[in-house]
Amino acid sequence: MQFTEAIKTIREYSSVDLPLCRVRLVTGFNPLHLQTFLQAHLQQRIPASRVVVSTDVYGDMTGALARVQTSTAEMCAIALEWPDLDPRLGFRQLGGWGHKELTDIVVDAQSKLVAIRKSLESLPDHFPVALSLPTLPLPPVFHTPSWQLSESELHLRHAVDELALWAAGRPNIRLVRPQGQEMDVRSPQAFDFKGELVAGLPYAIAHADQVARYLAQLLASPVPKKGLITDLDDTLWAGIAGEVGPEAVSWDLDSKTQLHGLYQQLLRALADQGVLIGVASKNDPETVEAVFRRPDIVLPRDRVFPVEAHWNAKSESVTRILDTWNVHADSVVFVDDSSSELAEVKATHREIECIRFDGQDYAEVHSLLYLLRDLFAKQTITQEDGLRRESLRAGSVFREGAKSPGVSHEDFLRDAEAKITFDFAAAKNPRSLELVNKTNQFNLNGTRYNEAEWHDSFAASNTFAVNASYRDKYGPLGVIAVLAGQASETAVTVNTWVMSCRAFGRRIEYQCLKAILDRFLAQEIVFEFSATARNKYLQEFLESLLGETPDGPCRISRAVFLDRCPKMYHEVQIHHE
Amino acid sequence: MKSKSIMNDLRQRLAQCFSLVFPDIEAPEVYSASSSSVAAWDSLAAIILANVIEEEFRVKLDYDVLPELVSFDLILNHLNNDHLNNDQLKSDALKNNHGIS
């Protein structure tokens, strides 16, 4: 981003009436450029709020960190540099660079890092912190030549690494991953030596932009994609299976087709972290299954669902896969070696991200592997992530079973042996917020929360959050619904309600409402409903319940709900807070 | 004629830089703006203004000269005198390529 663009972005939002998102930037140096870029990058990532980045007195890292807790900030970005650990590790102080001072510098740095850790430790677990470790070169403080790594320097770096290792294990702290080693000492790209001495601005403009971008990405992470649809021939493997035969396609070093093996390996890893992997291939289904039966396949068949192998248009296959997964095209990536197939799919599914796999271009595939990791990156892998693929298979079986001749839907639901567990300690379960922030179709109003906002929304004693886990004889779905709001003596107000699309068609939504009516002995439920472009499923549900199309907040009495609620067959368990 | 056109172009582009950094200045006042007439023009704003001008005109304004560049006219003269030989600047001006618009 250019500096001018950053200022324009900030100006654009400066007079807009939006809720504020307050961010504290902590640095030991003049944060001018970093602050500007951070505000602009965050603003681009959080367009529903007006981002305000404030700073503290610079030059006092530990003091500034201690004051973060009492500030109004909802999140914090920290750019740590060597002089923050000891001023002699910078260029603005003349405290000595001799070998006699070195031991003292290392001891000082270690104790400063302990103080920083204590300040970070005192921040609440839900308070998001993005931390950038030193990015600028150390001064010529060591008696060894600049191309040699000295023991003293290693002591310094070890102390920083210890802080980093501790911080990476904290639920609320995210670390900027250094992009390569620190810039070369004499490179002007990162360090502005004159700027540091004349104005206390050590970051060159481009470097300030880069650090700000990483900090912003950590504080406002992009929503991960949910699924990947891959082609097979010359993509998942090298060769056309239908032409050379299932035994002759390859993905290994000996055949000089390792790129495809690496792609399979990455897809397997993604599948194991809960990413949905589907196949859209113009192929004979039996040939495809024969390749998947090979013992050396890296991406096993059971990690892939569904497989669309036929000779029809790939856009049709994608449509069916999206339908099976019940996810929107904008959550999905399509990978194919053919530009024309990519274009054909894109023409029908404009929001799908199409990426070409060019097995002849090593550099491009190398980049692709990292790109896919980034597109599907998650902070934590939950139990539900592991369940997703199996629950989709189960859902498919469920839907097929419900359509079986001679079996009514009512009979099917009755015989499903469904069990729902409601947990009223849901506010603290990270899966609850994750579900709230990624669910679209069954979402009461589309409101998204950051961790601090979510936590703060339960400050009052009459607030609640409950989630629902579901399983039936076809398998578990995990946590699939979250409701949150406030309860008064007579009514429950629901301001958050989401349900995973995997759970549709099981009457779980009715059981959710019954659970909160019973829990709070309420006579009425108030829904803080707001129509969004994507919450049609919830709109239709409310319409069926209320008998009219809701156009905003609406309510239903216990009596009317019970009258309109269909028969439910679930076994219900309640865990109270 | 060409040189007058280049000068006008520089003036307009510089005015746009000023408007971006000091949005509270009314359009006609931009051309007479100085650090004494614009309250927001402090040392940090001067650096921001310099960075914006650097990007717009693809020039480098050294920290050493910033204390002297305390008005619209002085900055315009500086760009004109010190950088008019810059081929890129001339080319941009002749193309009337307004980066900030």
Whether residues A65 and A206 share a domain: the answer is: yes
The predicted-structure confidence for B43-61, as pLDDT tens digits, reads as follows: 899 999 999 999 999 998 9
H/E/C letters for each residue in A203-267?
A: ECHHHHHHHHHHHHHHHCCCCCCCEEEECCECCCEECCHHHHCCCCCECCCCCCCHHHHHHHHHH
> Residue A517's domain is classified under what CATH number?
3.40.630.30
Sign of the CA dihedral running A398, A403, A405, A409: positive
Whether residues A208 and A60 share a domain: the answer is: yes
B40/A contact by beta carbon, under 8 A: no
Q: Do A7 and B21 touch (CB under 8 A)?
A: yes
pLDDT for residue B74: 94
CA distance B85 to chain A (A): 24
The predicted-structure confidence for B60-97, as pLDDT tens digits, reads as follows: 898 889 999 999 999 999 998 875 555 555 566 555 54
Q: A460: buried, middle or exposed (CB in 10 Å: 19+, 13-18, 0-12)?
A: exposed
pLDDT band at residue B99, thresholds of 50, 70 and 90?
very low
pLDDT band at residue B27, thresholds of 50, 70 and 90?
confident
Whether residues A279 and A209 share a domain: the answer is: no
Q: Which of A436, A487, A491, A438 is nearest to A464 (CA)?
A: A487
> Residue A150's domain is classified under what CATH number?
3.40.50.1110
Residue A247 forms part of a structural domain: yes
Q: A320: buried, middle or exposed (CB in 10 Å: 19+, 13-18, 0-12)?
A: middle
What is the domain count for chain B?
Answer: 1
Whether residues A205 and A242 share a domain: the answer is: no
Residue A191 forms part of a structural domain: yes
Is 0.90 surpassed by the pTM of this model? no
ipTM of the assembly?
0.79
A33/B contact by beta carbon, under 8 A: yes
Final residue before a domain boundary, out of A335, A357, A375: A375
Whether residues A416 and A538 share a domain: the answer is: yes
* Domain ranges, residue B72: 2-94
B51/A contact by beta carbon, under 8 A: yes
Write out chain B residues lying below 8 Å of A204, CB-based.
Answer: none
Q: Which of A333, A337, A304 is nearest to A318 (CA)?
A: A333
Residue B99 forms part of a structural domain: no
Final residue before a domain boundary, out of A219, A238, A270: A219
Residue A393 forms part of a structural domain: no
Whether residues A289 and A349 share a domain: the answer is: yes
Write out chain B residues lying below 8 Å of A11, CB-based.
Answer: 20, 23
B56/A contact by beta carbon, under 8 A: yes
Q: Do B48 and A32 touch (CB under 8 A)?
A: yes
Contacts of A309 (CB under 8 A, 6+ apart): A232, A279, A281, A282, A283, A284, A285, A287, A288
> Residue A346's domain is classified under what CATH number?
3.40.50.1000
- Interface subset of B 5-34, CB within 8 angstroms of A: 20-21, 23
Residue B101 forms part of a structural domain: no
Whether residues A118 and A184 share a domain: the answer is: yes
- How many Cβ atoms from other residues are within 10 Å of residue A193's Cβ? 15
CA distance A12 to chain B (A): 10
d(CA A33, CA A36): 5
Q: Which of A366, A237, A354 is nearest to A304 (CA)?
A: A237
Whether residues A427 and A495 share a domain: the answer is: yes
What the block records as the tokens of A166 is 């501790």
Residue B86 forms part of a structural domain: yes
Mutate to test the interface with A, among B20, B24, B47 (most CBs of A within 10 A): B47
Residue A398 forms part of a structural domain: no
Residue B45 forms part of a structural domain: yes
Q: A313: buried, middle or exposed (CB in 10 Å: 19+, 13-18, 0-12)?
A: middle
Whether residues A157 and A16 share a domain: the answer is: yes
- Interface subset of B 72-101, CB within 8 angstroms of A: 99-100
* Domain ranges, residue A58: 3-219
- Interface subset of A 5-24, CB within 8 angstroms of B: 7-8, 11, 14
Residue A394 forms part of a structural domain: no
Residue A399 forms part of a structural domain: no
Residue A474 forms part of a structural domain: yes
CA distance A32 to chain B (A): 7
Write out chain A residues lying below 8 Å of B56, CB-based.
Answer: 4
> Residue B46's domain is classified under what CATH number?
1.10.1200.10
Whether residues A145 and A277 share a domain: the answer is: no
* Type of residue found at B26: E
Residue B100 forms part of a structural domain: no
pLDDT for residue B75: 95
Whether residues A247 and A116 share a domain: the answer is: no
CA distance A184 to chain B (A): 22
pLDDT band at residue B101, thresholds of 50, 70 and 90?
very low
Q: Do A3 and B21 touch (CB under 8 A)?
A: no
CB nearest to A205's CB, from B44, B51, B56 = B51
- Interface subset of A 203-262, CB within 8 angstroms of B: 205
Q: Tell me the pLDDT of chain A (577 aa) as tens digits.
A: 999 999 999 999 988 899 999 999 999 999 999 999 999 999 999 998 999 999 988 878 888 998 998 889 999 999 999 999 999 999 998 988 988 889 999 999 999 999 999 999 999 888 999 999 999 989 999 988 888 899 999 999 999 999 999 999 998 999 998 765 454 555 557 889 999 998 899 999 999 999 999 999 999 988 899 999 999 999 999 999 999 999 999 999 999 999 999 999 999 999 999 899 999 999 999 999 999 999 999 999 999 999 999 999 999 999 999 988 888 999 999 999 999 999 999 999 999 999 999 999 999 999 999 999 999 998 777 777 777 777 777 776 676 666 666 667 788 788 889 999 999 998 888 889 989 988 888 999 999 888 888 988 998 989 999 999 998 887 788 899 999 999 998 899 999 999 987 788 889 999 999 999 999 999 999 999 999 988 888 999 999 999 888 989 999 999 999 999 999 999 999 988 7
Whether residues A169 and A88 share a domain: the answer is: yes
What is the domain count for chain A?
Answer: 3
pLDDT for residue B98: 46
Structural contact between residues A278 and A303, judged by C-beta atoms closer than 8 angstroms: no
Residue A395 forms part of a structural domain: no
B61/A contact by beta carbon, under 8 A: no
Residue B38 forms part of a structural domain: yes
Mutate to test the interface with B, among A2, A4, A10, A203 (most CBs of B within 10 A): A4
CB nearest to A11's CB, from B20, B56, B64 = B20
CA distance A81 to chain B (A): 21
Final residue before a domain boundary, out of A375, A395, A427: A375
